Amino acid sequence: MGAEQAFQWAVSHPDFMDAIVATAGTAKCYGHGYVRLEGQIAALTTDPAWQGGEYATPPIKGLEAFSMVWAGWLYSQEWWPISTSRSPTRATNRRSFRA
């Protein structure tokens, strides 16, 4: 939803910035966007180390799960076969995309 916030700032404060960078956003959040966001939130907050955001050490398992959820949404279908075939790890397993 950061892109949606960037859109709003651009509309509300057009003289404050020259441009915005809106990554993975639309002018309106649709159902699949909520599913993605809730999946990322759940991945992070179910790590016992999360402790309601008052963590003493980084919630590593939650961050790893978050990165797996995000990796599927971040890149296009066209990107995966091209980029992973050039990768030294060749993205052969889930650990290739850990945080």
Assess if residue 3 is contained within a domain. Answer: no
Domain count, the chain: 1
Domain of residue 59, residue span: 29-97
Assess if residue 12 is contained within a domain. Answer: no
The DSSP-derived string for 1-66 is -HHHHHHHHHHH-TTT-S-----S--SS--HHHHHHHHHHHHHHHTSGGGGGG--SS--HHHHHHH
Higher local confidence (pLDDT), 14 or 74? 14
For residues 92 and 89, what is the distance between their CA atoms, to the nearest angstrom? 7
For residues 91 and 34, what is the distance between their CA atoms, to the nearest angstrom? 27
Higher local confidence (pLDDT), 92 or 43? 43
- Could you give the percent of the chain with pLDDT greater than 90? 24
Assess if residue 53 is contained within a domain. Answer: yes
- Residue-wise pLDDT for 42-79, tens only, equals 999 999 999 999 999 999 999 999 888 888 777 777 77
Assess if residue 7 is contained within a domain. Answer: no
Assess if residue 16 is contained within a domain. Answer: no
Mean pLDDT, the chain, whole residue set: 79
